[in-house]
Chains A and B, each alone.
Chain A
Amino acid sequence: MKNKMFCYQCQETAGGKGCTVSGVCGKKPDVAGMQDLLIYVTKGLSTVTTQLRKEKKSVDKTVNHLVTMNLFTTITNANFDKEALSRRVEATLDKKTELLMQVTDASSLPEAAFWRGEPDEFETKAASVGVLETENEDIRSLRELITYGLKGLAAYTKHANALLRDNEDVDAFIQSTLAKTLDDSLSMEDLIALTMETGKYGVQGMAELDTANTDRYGHPEITTVDIGVRKNPGILISGHDLKDLEMLLEQTVGTGVDVYTHSEMLPAQYYPAFKKYPHFAGNYGNAWWKQREEFEKFHGPILMTTNCVVPPLASYRDRLWTTGATGVPGIRHIDGKYGETKDFSPMIEQAKTCEAPEELETGTLVGGFAHEQVFALADKVVDAVRSGAIRKFVVMAGCDGRMKSRDYYREFAQKLPKDVVILTAGCAKYKYNKLPLGDIDGIPRVLDAGQCNDSYSLALIALKLQEIFGLQDINDLPIVFNIAWYEQKAVIVLLALLYLGVKNIHLGPTLPAFLSENVTKVLVENFGISGIGTVDEDLTKLIGNA
């Protein structure tokens, strides 16, 4: 029986192999098809822009923004709106047609550069441009690994762009690499090299975003965050985009409405610039996948600035709002160009009519250990390592998800010996950030650097420690990697770490379905990548005995 769809880009893919009937994420076959088509036409556009650059012609940054936003909308749990995706396909086809006219030599361009179609032809075309069209399993695997890494890189690039920071090298690389995933002349070796290069640009993209965020909002600092509620009505902001948060905070000044952070917005609490708002309240809830029950209890509007969006329950549908790359059919979307102020007033007016949030829990969280804060504590950390008070660091950054097997990460954190410190970033932290793990000489045992993109901070911290200890190899540091992944930003973080030379990364709770046997072999042989075992086995393997 022919598949209704095929997608295997996230960790929860059906049977660990691929979603063929309906997406576990909730996306239906028609949405999956439209996403496949959007990727295809974006790759087609990229062959044209790459040719233009070869001919030394400039490509306007609005085209770069179109490419990155297109990729972002196909990230897991970002956009479920077939009509919105279809409009993106149309806009991309229009831009491609326009740019093709500027190309002098189109003779080497592939079919994807030239294909045009009307919206009523989209569904048919989508069925012929999916993942499985690449027959060779290993070539397919590498094309998809690269494409998903580029999706993650596109997301980080988008957030930098929203802060009016553009990097032409990164954009040119994203587009030329997308074009190469259509090139049948490339061998497995070529694509492996391209995968590593994608990791290199991953580092660059993450550096750009780090600069964009810290230039505008200051460097994250140690902060204690409340996880209870106040008495005013509130708006809950989720996702990763700090520019959206800035605009929301500005527009809610003096309205009597408080702003709370959710999931990956928690690290916004660590930035100095946002602390000046008295109505900036605490963090509400946990990682993305608990949102249905938590959004019900929040009572006020929820703004999704990025993934992860879970298809909403009827009980809070009319309180859910999307912006940026996110979209859900029938859910109100607030748009705005980079550099423009989005109008959140309808959402704020709605908030005023809502009850205050229901309290989920009380207490506090501590975070803010991005690179500058940790460098400021470098002497203390180095002393603790030299004295043996800190025997090891374990990087447990990444994504959280719904599989019960992820309880492994909570148990692993709980069972860690008391002389081990967890370095984290991303929503994987919610498996252990509320555990009473204590501190070592005043250094908390869980050091949260921030959002998943702040894995960049963890890389810088490792490189700094390598320098201080005078080590030749980053892998000689007392740092081990036990990473949880779910979606495509985790893929670019992984590729970035591999590019920086990190070996023996443990990746879980399952390995990606899009890694073929041979590609897995390459990653294992060259980088020592492995999956996870039991908690006790891995504690012995990774931490050893005191």
Chain B
Amino acid sequence: MRAHVDQNDCIGCGLCVATAPDIFVMNENGKAQAITETTEKNHQLVREAIEGCPVGAIQEKEHQEENR
């Protein structure tokens, strides 16, 4: 599973990056994206980022969807 940031909904506020900088980064479009899988170790932070997103742009998704 990997957190997926909807690129249309994301407002680029950087909250998820600030919450979990090892998991989320800002891309060149000024939007956030997850760069690593959700693991047992980091899932709490991922959850915090998902819940903290002011526009609800982050969801957990199967990794294969990223490659579509």
Q: Which residues of A pack against B, CB within 8 Å? A: 4, 12, 14-15, 19, 21-26, 28, 289, 292, 310-311, 313-314, 402-404
The 9 A-B residue pairs whose C-beta atoms are closest, nearest first, are A22-B18, A313-B30, A24-B13, A24-B54, A21-B18, A402-B11, A22-B15, A12-B54, A22-B14
Q: Which residues of B contact A403 (CB under 8 A)?
A: 54-55
B39 at the interface (CB under 8 A from A): no
Q: Which residues of B pack against A, CB within 8 Å? A: 9, 11-15, 17-19, 28-30, 51-52, 54-56
Whether the Cβ atoms of A311 and B15 lie closer than 8 Å is no
What's the minimum C-beta distance from A25 to chain B, rounded to whole angstroms? 7
Partner of B28, one of A24, A292, A314: A314
Q: How far is the CA of A8 from the CA of B63 in the complex (A)?
A: 35
Partner of A311, one of B12, B17, B29, B56: B12
Q: Which residues of A contact B17 (CB under 8 A)?
A: 22
Q: Which residue of chain A has its CB nearest to the CB of B13?
A: A24
Q: Which residues of A contact B54 (CB under 8 A)?
A: 12, 14-15, 24, 402-403
Q: How far is the CA of A310 from the CA of B10 in the complex (A)?
A: 13
Main secondary structure of the interface of A (DSSP, over half): loop
Whether the Cβ atoms of A26 and B19 lie closer than 8 Å is no
Q: How far is the CA of A310 from the CA of B18 in the complex (A)?
A: 17
Q: How far is the CA of A404 from the CA of B14 in the complex (A)?
A: 18
Partner of A289, one of B11, B18, B19: B11
Q: Which residues of A contact B9 (CB under 8 A)?
A: 404
Q: Which residue of chain B has its CB nearest to the CB of A15?
A: B52
Q: How far is the CA of A25 from the CA of B18 in the complex (A)?
A: 13
Partner of B13, one of A4, A25, A314, A404: A25
Q: Which residue of chain B has its CB nearest to the CB of A404?
A: B55
Main secondary structure of the interface of B (DSSP, over half): loop
What's the minimum C-beta distance from B20 to chain A, rounded to whole angstroms? 10
Q: How far is the CA of A311 from the CA of B13 in the complex (A)?
A: 9
Q: Which residues of B contact A314 (CB under 8 A)?
A: 28, 30
Q: How far is the CA of A12 from the CA of B15 in the complex (A)?
A: 12
What's the minimum C-beta distance from A292 to chain B, rounded to whole angstroms? 6
Q: Which residues of A contact B55 (CB under 8 A)?
A: 402-404
What's the minimum C-beta distance from A452 to chain B, rounded to whole angstroms? 21
Q: How far is the CA of A14 from the CA of B11 in the complex (A)?
A: 13
Q: How far is the CA of A532 from the CA of B13 in the complex (A)?
A: 26
What's the minimum C-beta distance from A518 to chain B, rounded to whole angstroms? 26
What's the minimum C-beta distance from B12 to chain A, rounded to whole angstroms? 7
Q: How far is the CA of A14 from the CA of B51 in the complex (A)?
A: 10
Q: How far is the CA of A14 from the CA of B54 in the complex (A)?
A: 6
Q: How far is the CA of A322 from the CA of B30 in the complex (A)?
A: 20
Q: How far is the CA of A23 from the CA of B51 in the complex (A)?
A: 15
Q: How far is the CA of A28 from the CA of B17 in the complex (A)?
A: 12
With contacts A24-B13, A26-B13, A314-B30 known, what are 5 further pairs, Cβ within 8 A? A12-B54, A15-B51, A15-B54, A28-B18, A311-B12
Most chain B CB within 10 A, of A24, A289, A314, is at A24
10 pairs, A vs B, C-beta closer than 8 Å: A12-B54, A15-B52, A22-B13, A25-B13, A26-B12, A292-B12, A311-B12, A311-B30, A313-B29, A314-B28
Q: Which residues of B contact A14 (CB under 8 A)?
A: 15, 52, 54
What's the minimum C-beta distance from A492 to chain B, rounded to whole angstroms? 24
Whether the Cβ atoms of A23 and B13 lie closer than 8 Å is yes
Q: Which residues of A contact B15 (CB under 8 A)?
A: 14, 19, 21-22, 24
Q: Which residues of B contact A21 (CB under 8 A)?
A: 15, 18-19, 52
Q: How far is the CA of A28 from the CA of B14 in the complex (A)?
A: 9
What's the minimum C-beta distance from A264 to chain B, rounded to whole angstroms? 19
What's the minimum C-beta distance from B9 to chain A, rounded to whole angstroms? 8
Q: Which residue of chain B has its CB nearest to the CB of A23?
A: B13
Whether the Cβ atoms of A26 and B14 lie closer than 8 Å is yes
Most chain B CB within 10 A, of A12, A14, A15, is at A14
Q: How far is the CA of A544 from the CA of B56 in the complex (A)?
A: 33
Q: Which residues of B contact A26 (CB under 8 A)?
A: 12-14
What's the minimum C-beta distance from A30 to chain B, rounded to whole angstroms? 12
Q: Which residues of B contact A28 (CB under 8 A)?
A: 18
Q: Which residue of chain A has its CB nearest to the CB of B29?
A: A313
Most chain B CB within 10 A, of A4, A21, A311, A313, is at A21
Q: How far is the CA of A15 from the CA of B54 in the complex (A)?
A: 7
Q: Which residue of chain B has its CB nearest to the CB of A312?
A: B30
Q: How far is the CA of A348 from the CA of B61 in the complex (A)?
A: 48
Q: How far is the CA of A22 from the CA of B19 in the complex (A)?
A: 8
What's the minimum C-beta distance from B56 to chain A, rounded to whole angstroms? 8
Q: How far is the CA of A310 from the CA of B12 in the complex (A)?
A: 9
Q: Which residues of A contact B18 (CB under 8 A)?
A: 4, 21-22, 28
Q: Which residue of chain A has its CB nearest to the CB of B11?
A: A402
Q: How far is the CA of A21 from the CA of B17 in the complex (A)?
A: 10
Q: How far is the CA of A23 from the CA of B54 in the complex (A)?
A: 10
What's the minimum C-beta distance from A11 to chain B, rounded to whole angstroms? 10
Q: How far is the CA of A314 from the CA of B56 in the complex (A)?
A: 25
Q: How far is the CA of A443 from the CA of B9 in the complex (A)?
A: 37
What's the minimum C-beta distance from A192 to chain B, rounded to whole angstroms? 30
Q: How far is the CA of A402 from the CA of B15 in the complex (A)?
A: 15
Q: Which residues of A contact B56 (CB under 8 A)?
A: 404
Q: How far is the CA of A24 from the CA of B13 in the complex (A)?
A: 5
Q: Which residues of B contact A19 (CB under 8 A)?
A: 15
Q: Which residues of B contact A404 (CB under 8 A)?
A: 9, 55-56
What's the minimum C-beta distance from A363 to chain B, rounded to whole angstroms? 24
